[in-house]
Structure 1
Amino acid sequence: MTGPGRPAVVDRHRAVDEQQANKDLARYWFEEGWTRGNLDVADSIFAPDFVLSGRTVGPEGPRRSVRNRRTAFAGLEVSIGLQVAEGPWVATWFTTRATHVAEFAGVPPTGRLVVSEGIQLWRVEDGLVVEDRNVFDRWAVVSQLRGSG
């Protein structure tokens, strides 16, 4: 038994439900924020003291990232390949596809279709994302823009 009079199976179900909720939260941000450009949802997803790559940026940090990317790349679509959750953490492997229409990383618009992949690792507390650690192959994007990838 775990807790006062509760069988361990109840706690396992609660953990599974929480992990699924964390995965759903990440999927919601990719669909609403990245693909649809609905940045208003950031306040309901990211904590006021949200940390991105070691810096406290709050919900404005993710909004700025999406705004910048959607400005440089038209028709941005994000697809989720895999999600894994463990405790408060959720990892999402994703692929983006978009057309380069404005300067990005010092490269003027090329009109090229760019495909890239990344992994986002979020820590969620009380239904809000408090931390993001991510890996995004920026060099692969720049290589495609320059016609060498």
Structure 2
Amino acid sequence: MTFVQIIDCKTDRVDEMSRLMDSWVEATQGKRTATHSLMARDRSDSTHVLEIVEFPSYEEAMENSKLPETDRIFREMVALCDGEPTFTDLDVVRDEQLNKLVVRSFVDEVINKGDIGAADRLCTADYREHDPSQPSYDVDLATAKEANREIMEAFRPTCTIEGLVAEGDTVCLRMSFKGRHVGPYQGVEPTGRDVTGTGHATFRCRGGKIAESWWNVDDMGVMRQLGVVEG
């Protein structure tokens, strides 16, 4: 279970605190078990500072606290604070990265279920799509839907999410896919051949919807499997 520790302190030496965190990151390279560290300052009280550190588990957090570098940095941090910092230990019971949810929905509904119309609900009105395998690299939602419709009808593909990583408003997808060539695709008549491949896509989200996407799919590999180009 993911574990989060919140360190709450008062200090007017925030810049020094930030440099101290840089020192800790450098000193514990290759040793620390922490996976995410965030420092935040209260907008209503500039001396109120929170440090939030995430670990894979409570046990790994305890291993991290035993590092001599962690102990040294903590003592230096206390010296920068007005009084002793307080700690809140949290077991994470739910961690929902909402931008990942909309990308999963796009894969499930638009690709795997072939519901091209679902893109209207999942994408913003000013959505832009970038795909070097398409006639134009920068297209709007309506054009992207038609291009995707051709792919869906030609291959009836199934996409498997192999990895999904989110940071800020960006989600990166690593995927594999399979299908059968049952309809015309880019001038190639149906061959009935099975195709498989891999790809990556990056999505920029806004307001709970997908605003922009960049696709890199092994289209040349698909063409080889169709016998259009030599391997």
TM-score surpassing 0.5?
A: yes
Partner of 2:154: 72
What residue in structure 2 maps to residue 103 of structure 1?
A: 184
- Which structure ranks higher in relative contact order (CA pairs < 8 Å, sequence separation ≥ 6)? 1
1:128 is aligned to: 209
Q: Secondary structure at 1:85's aligned position in 2?
A: strand
- TM-score of the superposition, structure 1-length normalised? 0.82
Deviation at 1:137?
1.4
Supply the distance in 2 between the matched residues of 1:85 and 1:98 (Cα, whole angstroms). Answer: 27
1:31 and 2:112 are equivalent in the alignment = no
Pick one of 152, 164, 168 that aligns with 1:83: 164
Alignment size in residue pairs:
141
Cα distance in 2 for partners of 1:109, 1:130 equals: 33
> Percent same amino acid among aligned pairs?
26
For structure 1, which segment, 101-110 or 23-32, has the greater mean C-alpha deviation from structure 2 after superposition? 101-110
Whether contact under 8 Å (1:100, 1:113) holds in the other structure is: yes
Deviating 4+ runs (over 6 angstroms): none
RMSD, aligned CA: 2.4
Q: Distance in 2 between matches of 1:105 and 1:40?
A: 22
TM-score normalised by length of structure 2: 0.55
Q: Does the Cα contact within 8 Å between 1:88 and 1:124 map onto a contact in 2?
A: yes
**CA distance in structure 1 between the partners assigned to 2:124 and 2:51 by the alignment:** 30
Which deviates further from its counterpart, 104-113 or 137-146? 104-113
Structure 1 segments unaligned to the other structure (5+ residues) = none
Task: Show CA shifts across 1:10-43 (max 9, x none).
Answer: xxx9xx74xx111111111111111111223212
Preserved contact between residue 72 and residue 104 of structure 1 (Cα < 8 Å): yes
**Counterpart among 41, 47, 57 of residue 2 in structure 1:** 41
Q: Over residues 47-66 of structure 1, what are the superposed CA-to-partner deviations in whole Å (9 max), with x where a residue is unaligned?
A: 111111263503x2442233
- 3-state SS in 2 of match to 1:2: strand
* Alpha-carbon spacing, 1:8–1:57, altered in 2? closer, same or farther (3 Å): farther
Query: How big is the shift at 1:117?
Result: 1.2
Deviation for aligned residue 1:133: 1.1
